[in-house]
Structure formats: C-alpha cells, structure tokens
Amino acid sequence: MHIRSIETAVPRPMPQAVLRDLMAAQPGLTPLARRLVRTVYDASGIETRHTVLDELEEAAAGGPVFFDHGSGHVLTPSTGTRNAAYARLSRELFVEAGRRALKTSGLEAEDVTHVVTVSCTGFFAPGPDYLLVRELGLPPSTRRLHVGFMGCYGAFPALRAARSTCQAEPDAVVLVVCVELCTLHLHVANDPDTIVSSSVFADGAAAAVVTARPAPAGEPTLTIESLETVLSEQGEQDMAWTIGDQGFDMVLSSYVPRIIEADIRGALDPLLGDRDAAGIEHWAVHPGGRSILDRVQSALGLDDAQLAPSRGVLRDYGNVSSATVLFVLREILHSRQAGPASVVAVAFGPGLTVETGLLTLGAA
C-alpha cells in the first residue's frame, strides 16, 4: 500500500507578527500577559499562518462577528456561530485539497472507492465525506468514513483505515482529506496555555491518495510499511480539546514538550524495534510547536537536515492540527531523492497519544 500523492490547500496568509500585535493589543490582558504574547509569538518559529477569518484584515459586510475593526477587539461568538462558519468555510478547502491530490495521483474520480475525512474543529451533516463525493463527481457507491475530534494525530487513524481497506480490497483507491479551521476558535486570555495555543494553530487542508494499484513508472511514492500507536503514561490533562460555550477550548500545557521528550524513544520502540532512529533518512515530525521539535531532535539525536521539513512547515504554515503531518510528508514526497529511503512520521495529540508510521520513499 502506498501514498500516490499528497496535496494541500490553504486560505489567506497572515504574518505572525501581525497576529502578535493584534493579540497583544486586546483589552483585559495584564501587563505580564502582553509581554508573554510578544515573547511566545516571537519565539514560535512561525513566520506565516493562514486563516479563513477575512475579518482580521477587512471589515465584515454584515457587521463584525469574530473581530471588530472599530474597536480592534477579538470578539467572543457562540460555539454555534463558530460551527456555522466552519460548515460554510471548510467546504472549499475539503474540495480543493481532494481535487488536487486526485489530479496529481494520476487516477480519475471514477477510480475512487473510499473516502476518509478528518477534522476536529467543526461538524456538519451531511458531512465532508458526502461533500467530496458530490463535488468531485465520485461514484455514488463510494464508501465513506469521517474521523472526528481526534486532534493533531487524526491523519494516522485515517491512514490506518485506508491501509486496512487496501489490504482487504487490493483494487481500492482511498482519498483521505484533513481540514482544520483552528482560528475559528481563537481565544483571548491571560492564561499562558491559551496564549501558547493561540500562537501556533492555523487553518488549512491536506489530502492523500492511498492505493495498492501500481503507480506510473518513475513516479515517487510513500509505501506504508507499518503504523503504530502508543498512549503515554502522563499528559492526559496537558493536551486536551473540549467544547465550550464560546468555541472549542484547546489545552496545550507548557509541560507537553518535556513529556514528549521523555517518552518519544519508548513510543518509537514498537515501530522501529532495534533500528537506530538516527539512521532513518527522513523524519516527518508533527510541528506542534518549536519547543516540541527541539526536544524531539535532542532526544533522538537527529540532525538539522532530518528536521528541516518539519521546521519549514512550522515556519510557513504553523500547526494545522491533523493536516500538518501530511504537509510535512508532502515536502518529503516531493524531495525527489534518488533510491529508496526510510521515513518515520510522528504526531502527538490528546491523551497524550503518540502515533507513528514507517514508510519508504521510492519511485514506482
């Protein structure tokens, strides 16, 4: 089973410095919180994020909902209002990412047998899986699955479902699409964990085509060798995602990078066994934040080149939750390295859950 293509789609870009200044200017912040906002945003390793909230740059025609340009205040719409925006604004990203991935895979809409969609930032039904069948002209018999509310590791259960499908049905073609609109849940607070969360999360989409069908000669692929999951003994309260009255509330404690640093080697044991982590050519580490990448690099003894794709995605896109690891894998897939090379993909999420995958980069 291999990944034939990975493509992405993003809404409008926003410089991190602009978001920093906007958040630091919010009323109600203590002087300490204002300093922390500037420090955290500047140290994030992010230069640009993307957002569906056009209101952050231009006044809304029907009046402010998320941001009031007159006062400069970030507003607090209800969870229902935020979710309605998700249902409206996520559709284009689901369809565009799926269309791009299908186009570059060399397969046609009628080839798709299964769709798996992933998101933790909103809900609607009929859902995005239904939307893709209709908008991409997929066969009406396409079987559909939605993976919801699993956080930053959500792409892995989707890939596991795709792999199992292709094992059971060798002619299957599975379209996986992850879309997250994290900025719909932007919060202003003096709490350091909220400030950290607001400094990293962003909007975007990524899609992959998984199949056992042979790829055209010379085309790069990522063969899925194995996928593993491990629950950490600690961190259940340090990374969480809950539904509140004013949007979804992300808990991303400052302890998370240290927990990951302590547990990452053990979490990789089921995947790598006796293999030396430093001997893996490519790493797609979910860039949950700069500190997470720093501590993973230190714990595993990786060099700068091995973490370059993850740091590049963090710099250019921020943390796009479930879609992010596919952004990193796309960079690796498009690297066009000659000859087979090992790839390890890692993502972290609520639980604290560590999902890992071993893949082989090669050409058909």
> Which residues are tagged catalytic?
152
> Do residues 362 and 340 make contact, with C-beta atoms less than 8 angstroms apart?
yes
Question: 207: helix, coil or strand?
Answer: strand
Helices 192-200, 16-24: axis angle to 10 degrees equals 150
- Cα 104-225-162 angle, rounded to 5 deg: 55
Q: Cα separation of 206 and 184, whole Å?
A: 18
CA pair distance 96, 205, nearest whole angstrom: 9
Provide long-range contacts, Cβ within 8 A and 24+ apart, for 86-89: 86/121, 86/122, 86/123, 86/124, 86/181, 86/184, 87/122, 87/123, 87/124, 89/11, 89/52, 89/181, 89/184
Smallest CA-to-CA distance from 316 within 2, 4, 1, 10 is with 10
Is residue 304 packed enough to be buried (19+ CB in 10 Å), middle (13-18) or exposed (0-12)? Answer: exposed
**Rounded to whole angstroms, how far apart are CA atoms 21 and 247?**
22
Write the DSSP assignment of 86-115 as a string of letters.
HHHHHHHHHHHHHHHHHHHHT--GGG--EE
d(CA 361, CA 323): 20
Verify cis geometry, omega within 30 degrees of 0, for the bond prior to 352: yes
Distance CA 99, CA 109 (A): 9
Whether 184 and 55 have beta carbons less than 8 Å apart is answered as no
